[in-house]
Structure 1
Amino acid sequence: MSPASPSSRATRPRGRSPRFLKPALAVIALALVAGGAWWWQGSRASTGEGPWRTAPVERGDIRVAISATGTLSATSTVIVGSQISGQVTDVLVDFNDTVEAGQVIARIDPSTYQAQIDQGNAQVLSARASLAQAEAALRNAELDHRRKSDLGNTQLVARADVDLSRAALDQARAQRDAARAQIAQQTASTRTSQVNLERTVIRSPVDGVVLVRNIEPGQTVAASLQAPELFTIAEDLSKMQIQLEVDEADIGQVEVGQGVSFSVDAFPDRQFRGEVAQVRLSATNTNNVITYPVVVSVDNSDRTLLPGLTVNAEIEVSRRDGVLKVSNAALRYKPSDAQLAASQGPGPRAGGGSGVADDLAKAAQALEPTAQQQSAFDEALAAIRERMAARQAAAPAPGAGGGMFGGPGMRVVTSGGGDMAAQIRQRMLQRYQQDFAAFRATLDDNQRVQWDRALNATVGARRAPLYRLVDGQPQAVMVRVGASDGSATEIAGAVQEGDLVITGERAAP
């Protein structure tokens, strides 16, 4: 029995080890979860984000484009028709053939017009014979009248005979003139037939490429009411154009010379470029949707693009390079009054130099004013700041439902806010014009023009509140809003590159 005892003691620890392993692993896992949670909370605290989602203010490019569709066509397309009726005897060109100006491309049976010419020539000969008869009769009438006039002077013939001879002379002259007119008429008729005979030969009016051929040999064309269309010739396919239909809401941003990028389904991997050549004023109403035609010129030197292709185009109406921009979500975010009251107490104000007055101060500095001009501007600006401070002091706190930012009573003047916004901007402009009237009077003509332009642009600029994250708390700042590409918007004001702005709130853990 004694030899088995050591063996029994040796196997007992291995039998107890699984009993202690599972609790130990559970303790380690709980410790790791607790450590991860502690690290995540510490990371959020270190970044100062707290319960908010943020995005940085970045510096980059803003490209604003308008989308539109259209169709490619040749810059100059000529429709070749027939001015005469007849049977087509020859068609000398086909689709896609290159033709030159004056080249014969079709013929119409000329026999009818040749017969008319022959008939006209015969009528001219007949008229000339009639003229010869009339001229002979005229000469006889002249001699007869001369003889009777001489006899009448000597009282050898009656005065009535002299009068009759004079009448016969006038009649002979009229018949001669009528014969001459008949010749001219028949000659003109023959010339018309000759012109129609020449029109039986259809020639290309321009150098180009045949796009459409509507006739076949043996076909009869009738030109009684309108000229039938025989061919369509594109004058130069190396220069093409696109006619885009632009919505009335966007047409105000389109100008001649703006760049256009477009694609066609035939070449999905290629991007083509063009330029706005014309903004036409003829509006089109389709199911109460108003559009305006915009013509885009396109260089097609490689002859890749084909007439009739459907185009998906973007007109680059604005491009801002190297500007401060922020996500559009930051401009849409509005914290509750309670959040603002808890984070900032009495309520936020327009941050720093982001207001209209500060923008005007920068505009005045750009004029390089003299000491007298600067003094006049400073006096006007001090009066404006005093008025604004009094107005802000009298405004209710955000928690009371008012204030400049965040509350239900917030009003942001934008460039597209309808009649009310337009009236507000107009009143603001008039007020600032009155405030700076003395300063404007000190400017010279060139400075006055620059100042008026800057004042109109500043007052008419769109403004909106942003909420920066400062020390873990939101801080409201009013910024001037510029161009937007749909995802990011240009801003200017009391913000810097790298500032964190709030775009939303995090879900509660």
Structure 2
Amino acid sequence: MRCLGGFPPHRDRIPVPNPSPKPPVRRGRRPGRPLAIVAVLVVLALAAGWLWHRHQAAAAQGGYRTEAVQRSDIRVAISSTGTLSAISTVTVGSQISGQVTDVLVDFNSHVKKGDVLARIDPSTYEAQLEQGNAQIASARASLRNAQAGLKNAELDYQRKADLGRQQLVAKSDVDLARAALDQARAQVNSAQASINQQTASLKNTQVNIDRAVIRSPVDGVVLTRSIEPGQTVAASLQAPELFTIAEDLSKMQIELAVDESDIGQVKAGQAVSFSADAFPDRQFKGVVEQVRLAATTANNVVTYPVIVTVDNGDGTLLPGLTVNAEIEVNKRANVLKLGNAALRFKPSEGSPLADLQPADPGRQSQSGNRGAGNANMAGDLQDLAATLGLNDAQKAAFDAALEPMQQRQAERAAQQGQGTQSTQQQGGSRLFGGGPRFGGQGGTPDAGMQAQMRSRMRDRFNQQFAAFTATLDDAQKTKWNAAMEAQLNAKRVTIYKLANGKPEAVMVRLGSSDGSSTEVSGPDIAEGDEVITGEKSSAEAK
């Protein structure tokens, strides 16, 4: 039986042998997977190491924010505003009244001394001049008439005097002749005086005619012109201002108003830098010329005028410009400086830093300095002496005065035992202050104790260096005394730095400050030291 389509039934199909089956493929691990796993493990190990290192660093810092001590320059400047003006400004006026006929100069005109600036109609004064000439002529005629009368009186008196001696005329006639002679002489003198008076009046009229021509009294530039041709000038009570002339604009000045709190730092010769809104891309230079004593008070604020001279050789600066100036009162080059945040930092109550006290100058601190307090002072004195230009005898006297200090330094450096521990237990240095015994916060002595310490140190230094200062001249002695006072009066504060990963309280001496950073010096502070500026919160520490 066949199926439809001609195909044999299933049972009639011829069996076809099955092909040999393929061997099963074994799925093993890929060759790159072990490397990836190793790389992941390495990354995890590195991350764990970094986290551990960060944790250790945070633990070493104890959860503090720090700032590094830098070595740089510090520039201390006082800011003020002022107005530019010519050093010498002349106001040209008129001493006579009249109508202006000519104006020969304009604004910004360059004039020389004696140049004609304007003319005033002199007709009135010319008429007075003619009248004066006529009066002089009349007075001269009167003089000649008086002189003739005098001559006649003299002859009459001579005749009557001769007759009187011969007793030919009465004595009264002789007296009358003498009186007439005296009257004639008086008339001559009066006529002469009238001539002199008219001559003087004529000279005054001539001066007024000359004043009708307005001339420049100086060489300079016309800044302002207040008249026009045809304008009438009235000079009855005061001279009207016609022109303003700046004598020399190549040299100008600025009048700054400096606050009373800053005026003590301003001295003649200090450098000044300033800018003007008209030239925003330029910085100009000047020098303090004068600190005037004429203080002014406005809104309970006292200011003093400070005059600054400026070189304007290129003619860029213009009179009247408002400038913003900075007076450089101090500049310290290549000094250690620290941000003011570190100087203001005070440990909170319960902080581990609150129990730290500044190192004593005679003991060895954690940073490794030993006996550095006296060493620092001795070094400062040696640097000061190097600037005085000492001769051999003065150098020998200085070395002899400094030797006891150096000996004390060596003795304190050798102390490592009981004396050091005793001093440390007492709470810090007596020289620099510290500890509860001084009554200050953070190891800083109060004002009264600081004043007492400065007084004792001043007396000790004066006694120790008395023989040396006696060899100095006046200039050297002034410089030495000023530097010593600066050393003694320098403010000292306690700061907290990290030494070998541990916080340490040290005393530093403050110097110049530019408002954001302050110069610091001391035996236990160096460039790169990390100084604590604040304590991190728990979130920051994590």
TM interval, shorter chain, is 0.7 to 0.9
The alignment partner of 1:468 has SS state of: strand
Deviation of 1:158 after TM superposition, in Å, equals 1.3
Could you tell me which residue of structure 2 aligns to residue 79 of structure 1? Answer: 91
AA partner of residue 227 (structure 2): I
Deviation of 1:44 after TM superposition, in Å, equals 5.6
Could you tell me which residue of structure 1 aligns to residue 237 of structure 2? Answer: 225
Could you tell me which residue of structure 1 aligns to residue 191 of structure 2? Answer: 179
Range with bigger deviation, 272-281 or 434-443: 434-443
Could you tell me which residue of structure 1 aligns to residue 142 of structure 2? Answer: 130
Could you tell me which residue of structure 1 aligns to residue 81 of structure 2? Answer: 69
Deviation of 1:348 after TM superposition, in Å, equals 3.8
Deviation of 1:218 after TM superposition, in Å, equals 1.2
Could you tell me which residue of structure 2 aligns to residue 14 of structure 1? Answer: none
AA partner of residue 456 (structure 2): R
Deviation of 1:451 after TM superposition, in Å, equals 5.9
Deviation of 1:446 after TM superposition, in Å, equals 3.0
Deviation of 1:300 after TM superposition, in Å, equals 1.3
Could you tell me which residue of structure 1 aligns to residue 530 of structure 2? Answer: 500
Please tell me whether the aligned partners of residues 354 and 480 of structure 1 are also in contact (alpha carbons under 8 angstroms): no
The alignment status of 1:43 with 2:72, answered yes or no, reads no
How do 1:360-375 and structure 2 match up within 5 A?
360-363=377-380, 365=382, 368=395, 373-374=401-402
Could you tell me which residue of structure 2 aligns to residue 260 of structure 1? Answer: 272
Q: How far apart in 2 are the matches of 1:127 and 1:506?
A: 107
Could you tell me which residue of structure 2 aligns to residue 485 of structure 1? Answer: 514
Deviation string for 1:388-418 (max 9, x for gaps)?
9988754599xx99366983674365xxxxx
Could you tell me which residue of structure 1 aligns to residue 455 of structure 2? Answer: 430
Q: How far apart in 1 are the matches of 2:57 and 2:457?
A: 45
Deviation of 1:358 after TM superposition, in Å, equals 5.0
Q: How far apart in 1 are the matches of 2:420 and 2:118?
A: 82
Please tell me whether the aligned partners of residues 212 and 232 of structure 1 are also in contact (alpha carbons under 8 angstroms): yes
Could you tell me which residue of structure 2 aligns to residue 302 of structure 1? Answer: 314
AA partner of residue 314 (structure 2): D
Distance 1:187 1:341, change over 3 A: closer
Aligned positions, number: 471
Q: How far apart in 2 are the matches of 1:191 and 1:504?
A: 87
The alignment status of 1:315 with 2:327, answered yes or no, reads yes
AA partner of residue 407 (structure 1): Q
Please tell me whether the aligned partners of residues 377 and 439 of structure 1 are also in contact (alpha carbons under 8 angstroms): no
AA partner of residue 190 (structure 1): L
AA partner of residue 431 (structure 1): R
The CA RMSD measured in Å over matched residues stands at 3.6
Deviation of 1:361 after TM superposition, in Å, equals 3.1
Deviation of 1:241 after TM superposition, in Å, equals 1.1
Deviation of 1:275 after TM superposition, in Å, equals 1.2
Deviation string for 1:262-300 (max 9, x for gaps)?
111111111111111111111111111111111111111
Distance 1:110 1:457, change over 3 A: same
Please tell me whether the aligned partners of residues 354 and 442 of structure 2 are also in contact (alpha carbons under 8 angstroms): no
AA partner of residue 79 (structure 1): T
Deviation of 1:487 after TM superposition, in Å, equals 1.3
Q: How far apart in 2 are the matches of 1:369 and 1:119?
A: 90
The alignment partner of 2:520 has SS state of: strand
- Pick one of 88, 105, 113 that aligns with 2:100: 88
Q: How far apart in 2 are the matches of 1:508 and 1:123?
A: 109
Please tell me whether the aligned partners of residues 335 and 406 of structure 1 are also in contact (alpha carbons under 8 angstroms): no
AA partner of residue 362 (structure 1): G
Deviation of 1:311 after TM superposition, in Å, equals 0.4
Range with bigger deviation, 334-343 or 106-115: 334-343
Deviation of 1:140 after TM superposition, in Å, equals 0.8
TM normalised by structure 2 equals 0.78
Could you tell me which residue of structure 1 aligns to residue 165 of structure 2? Answer: 153
The alignment status of 1:468 with 2:485, answered yes or no, reads no
Deviation of 1:500 after TM superposition, in Å, equals 0.9
Mind listing any 5+ residue stretches in structure 1 that lack a counterpart? 1-27, 414-419
Please tell me whether the aligned partners of residues 358 and 443 of structure 2 are also in contact (alpha carbons under 8 angstroms): no
AA partner of residue 293 (structure 2): L
AA partner of residue 280 (structure 1): R
Q: How far apart in 1 are the matches of 2:227 and 2:463?
A: 78
- Pick one of 97, 100, 104 that aligns with 2:109: 97
The alignment partner of 1:164 has SS state of: helix
Deviation of 1:307 after TM superposition, in Å, equals 0.8
Distance 1:195 1:498, change over 3 A: same
Deviation of 1:474 after TM superposition, in Å, equals 1.8
The alignment partner of 1:218 has SS state of: coil
Q: How far apart in 1 are the matches of 2:492 and 2:428?
A: 21
Range with bigger deviation, 87-96 or 124-133: 87-96
Deviation of 1:472 after TM superposition, in Å, equals 2.6
Please tell me whether the aligned partners of residues 272 and 325 of structure 2 are also in contact (alpha carbons under 8 angstroms): yes
The alignment status of 1:115 with 2:124, answered yes or no, reads no
How do 1:135-284 and structure 2 match up within 5 A?
135-284=147-296
* Same amino acid, percent of matched pairs: 56
Could you tell me which residue of structure 2 aligns to residue 456 of structure 1? Answer: 485
Deviation of 1:363 after TM superposition, in Å, equals 4.9
Q: How far apart in 2 are the matches of 1:406 and 1:432?
A: 19
The alignment partner of 2:202 has SS state of: helix
Range with bigger deviation, 460-469 or 359-368: 359-368
Q: How far apart in 1 are the matches of 2:349 and 2:371?
A: 22
Range with bigger deviation, 272-281 or 362-371: 362-371
TM normalised by structure 1 equals 0.83
Mind listing any 5+ residue stretches in structure 2 that lack a counterpart? 1-39, 362-368, 386-394
Q: How far apart in 2 are the matches of 1:458 and 1:295?
A: 31
Please tell me whether the aligned partners of residues 484 and 490 of structure 1 are also in contact (alpha carbons under 8 angstroms): yes
Could you tell me which residue of structure 2 aligns to residue 60 of structure 1? Answer: 72
AA partner of residue 531 (structure 2): V
Could you tell me which residue of structure 2 aligns to residue 349 of structure 1? Answer: 359
AA partner of residue 480 (structure 1): R
> Bigger radius of gyration, 1 or 2?
2
Range with bigger deviation, 206-215 or 451-460: 451-460
The alignment partner of 2:83 has SS state of: strand
AA partner of residue 379 (structure 2): K
Range with bigger deviation, 90-99 or 348-357: 348-357
AA partner of residue 470 (structure 2): D
Q: How far apart in 2 are the matches of 1:405 and 1:430?
A: 18
Q: How far apart in 2 are the matches of 1:307 and 1:444?
A: 50
The alignment status of 1:440 with 2:465, answered yes or no, reads yes
Distance 1:434 1:410, change over 3 A: closer
The alignment partner of 2:186 has SS state of: helix
